[in-house]
Chains A and B, each alone.
Chain A
Amino acid sequence: MAALCEGFTLCGLGPSGGVGLGAGVLALEPGPDSDHVLLTDRGRTATLFKVSDQKPLGCWSVKHGQIITCPVVCNFETHEYIAVHDDKVLRIWKDEDVNLDKVFKATLSADVYRIHSLPHGEPLVLFRGGGVRTLDVLLEAPQQEIENFISDEVIKWSEAFLEGQEPILIFATEKDGDYFIYVQKFKLNILHKYKLEQQELSNPLSFTAYIKNQIITLLCLYSNGSVYKVLIPLQRHSEEEEQILSKSLLLKLLVSGSVLKGTSFAVLDKDHVAVLGSLTAFGEESKECLTIWNTKFQTLQTSKELPLGTSGQLWCYGEKFFFTHGKVLTVIIYKCETSSLAAAVGKLKDSQTSDVSSFINWNALSDEELVDSLQSQQSVALKSESKMTLRSRRNSVAKVQPDTLTVGQLLLDIKDSSSAAIEDELKQLLSKPQMPDFQATIGCVITALINRCKTDPVFYPRNFLVQLIQKRELSYSLCPDLMAVALEKKDVHLLQICLQWFPDIPEEITYACLKVFLSISDDYLERTDVNLESVICYIDIESNNKEVKTEIVENGFNAELEEDSCDIIFTKETHVKNDGEFCPVGPQKAALLNAVLHSAYSETFLLPHLKDLPAQQAVLFLRYLHYLYVKSSEKITTALPGVLSPTINQIMDWMCLLLDAHFTVMVMLPEAKGLLSSLHKFVRAQVRFYSELNKIEGSLQELQRLKRQKDSQTYSIEVLELI
């Protein structure tokens, strides 16, 4: 349940004191620290507050006659503050600067609408005409010409995100009652324009947006007291000039029969939104209140009356709401917990309830049944949805929506359409909002795809499959044939991510993957796209060229051991080549083998398969394991650096398994001899080292005991300090 805590006052806004001199607040932006906020008023001043202490840390104002037109933001990278006054004059200053007249100044050629500062990126400057520049580009030539895209449309709202490393800016404009959404992808310099579906007798008051899985979710608060949801995929497939964005009703702000007229709102998490607005009950005076709503259950979770009135603005940073209440700026801390039906009826148990659904075996149902059942489900879903949005859709019923493609249709398409067409449809499917049975849908879509792959050797929607697996909604049992097809096609990248994400791969398949990985040549792998994350930190790709031979033995254990060990027979070989020194496989193959090492298995089931591994491959694999073992022993933590790199236990387990499976072969094989002896020596050195550690531990323990004996006198006077 969500809850609002008792609020406190951050500062007064009245003319008598505090900030703003009664003109109101222009905007509130996050400050350089998580506990800081930057308040810009509708006059000349910007103030930095430390919220928990309720005190201002700094205050800057422009000269009389000037006016700040764009909220002050903080550049998180450089800890500088950026402001625009009189529409065109840009100022940049630091904490220690006092007088804004003396700080850096640049006069621009066009009016600035807003500056957006991103946590790990250059601030973006949005101009009134729709042009966008990063700050550093702009500062190179402040007088550069700024294009005007939107002629006489007025920007109502804007927001910036980072998707991956790419900054994305979205803004909404209005012209003659029509609303347009622009999405600017900055790296590619693409600007997409969309038109927002119209709503009778109501217009959007406030917007907010977030980005998830390459989809922008835009929420709009309408004047009729409803919140609508609009999804904008980042990958736009059709090149229409102006696409119309359809919206779906997310929430109706109804409080016991009367409508909450929202003025401003914020998204708290995936299920909660906060709305600031006024509530007019029948026959009563309207009262303003702050409310938190659950969108999943369509319920009002908590509300707080604000009898002194607000300016209609609401900001939300770091679990705190900020709004003006009467003549003060008030802060309220909220708590928002994931809500579930169980919690609502008080039956919540603290156990993980996720991941349950990812193991449905859809093989049990035949294809036709699936199509039927899904179509019926879909229609039910549609019906219920249409009931909810009937009024909003009424005007657009005549038009056939291009994206009301049913899953059943898609399944039929997969059987015979061209791969390009299918991929297009699949993308649409993925960009759709979360369906009620998303997993089931994906399950049968993927089964259909795999069936097509089996019959049609040319068809292989690789990118889509990779994307799907990375969504982490799949498991082996959901699509058992996927890995078989990938094995057949030797699609090592797909296999790698399958091994990484699937929790339930049978040992037989793990073995098959291992065999394929070992058999593919390094030259071939160099041309393929493999995720090298797990090896990049410890395999030096450059020096891995086999021609380069170093005489020095890097490993601390081996160097000593060679002098120390008494067996002379193998010294020749160790001089020629030390197995632990070079990675015996290329980085791509190493990364693939790491994926195998990481997968879950049961020894009993794996061992019989492992016995079938050809001798040469077994030796190669053992060589690689030996290399990993030596590498990981270099550090005292016996761990390899990097993400997803195999742990020492995994390495040892596989080594034991491999030796168990191929014991006789290893004994007989001449080329394994050197490897085994060097492995043996290394292990022996480690055992000796640890036995030395044991001895040290023994002596230290003895010391401890001596210390205790010293304690055992019957009387002493000691000094004790308590702090």
Chain B
Amino acid sequence: MAVPRLLRAAAPRLYSTVLVPAPATAPAPVATQPSAADDKLLSEPLSHPDFFNVKELFTLKDLFDARVHLGHKKGCRHRFMEPYIFGCRLDQDIIDLEQTMQHLQLALNFTAHIAYRKGIILFISRKRQFCHLVECTARACGEYAHTRYWQGGLLTNAHIQFGAGVRLPDLIVFLSSLNNVFQTHVAVRDAAKMNIPTVGVVDTNCNPSLITYPIPGNDDSPSAVELYCKLFRMTIIRAKDKRRQSEAIEELRRKAEGN
């Protein structure tokens, strides 16, 4: 059931067909052949460790003031979160912000690269308190959000539920990786099944196992979630602007060479 699909230079994920490993079956018009310039456009950011300079978007003080270091009580702690916990004060876990800074930098950098390469980003959060905020954030950066009940096969059964030729997200960002009954969100497992990288804020009661870029941090306080939303929004917009800028420069250079 090979459905011909447009190939872009960034080679998006091909889903909704039954195990078609060879993109060569799709018709490849000349325009989509990655040229040397396109290659440079895509490979140049990869050579820098922090091409989009996401480190400057946040400081330790910002995280601290937004209460990112506050965790749940000791009894709610997930065993796999122990490496990220600084300590336990009067039964309340405190998350190590030095580690959070590193993880957050990695996660934002990755998000920026995905956005630069025109990937689709899906924000997921099942916290009712922040669902509107998450949806607004997604709309502000031109990406997508899913803050409602997750039907079983949204990722794994997409070609039946949405029809053939659907493009799945290239990155899923969890602003809270739990669902309403304090279990890990199904999308974490499904994204892993579909080879979709995930970025997720994991609190002390979450399981960070399947998440590609976990960010140990508070996911319950409004100030913390607002901070994350702001950081993701700024990163994505910055990456998209950078892409537009690079393409414009390439365009000018091509015109100059053409002349």
Tell me if chain B binds chain A: no
Chain A residues within CB distance 8 Å of chain B: none
